[in-house]
Structure 1
């Protein structure tokens, strides 16, 4: 059964950045925060509360999977990876945003011609 990825759209900025960060590979929470900041050129910084609230929702929705549970005995951190559904949703959001940008650029060009 094919899942309708459109029901997850549009993504919030935090969710978009979490999925983008995880699209590069498995990360722990702090790694996700660093990668989101790196990918945005420092323009977007996600705090731990927002991050873990989003991860909880993404895990429940099946967009993200926990790949290593936290283990206090070994000091291992929880790590996360994007799920197949998460990849599909991210791709659909990127396509949606591309359409928004095309429309915005067209509107700006038209406005500049009128000036």
Structure 2
């Protein structure tokens, strides 16, 4: 598994993967993204479904069996979890480096 070929994630893809730590269908994913971002990120259905198709193609998410035949439900795969974790670690390193550099300049964060 080469998680690095999927990095860095866009903010919207990051939120989709984060939303799919638990099974969800499109409307729930859009609502989760809005909630997780504090209302800052709102995904249009077309954007979401394009992202879902891409994530399915790269095997970062997969269909999840559901009794609701009207809605397709998805969940993150192990590869998707690994990519999400690696991107989180990448961003944590960026924040730490930024904090160190600003502190060298005497700028408090």
Question: Post-superposition, which runs of at least 4 consecutive aligned residues in structure 1 deviate over 6 A?
Answer: none
Q: Distance in 2 between matches of 1:109 and 1:46?
A: 36
Q: Does 1:32 align with 2:29?
A: yes
* Counterpart residue number, 2:51: 54
The count of residues paired between Structure 1 and Structure 2 equals: 107
Secondary structure of 2:64's partner? strand
Residue from 94, 97, 103 that aligns with 1:100: 94
Residue from 15, 20, 26 that aligns with 2:13: 15
Q: Distance in 1 between matches of 2:79 and 2:38?
A: 27
Query: 1:4 Cα shift?
Result: 1.2
Q: Distance in 2 between matches of 1:8 and 1:27?
A: 22
Query: 1:33 Cα shift?
Result: 0.6
Structure number with larger C-alpha Rg: 1
* Counterpart residue number, 1:90: 84
After superposition, the C-alpha distances for 1:81-112 in whole angstroms (9 at most, x for unaligned) are: 00111001000000001001111222222333
Do the aligned partners of 1:9 and 1:93 also contact (CA within 8 Å) in 2?
yes
Gaps of 5+ in 1: none
Q: Distance in 1 between matches of 2:98 and 2:47?
A: 29
Residues 110 and 97 of structure 1: CA distance in aligned 2, closer, same or farther (over 3 Å): same
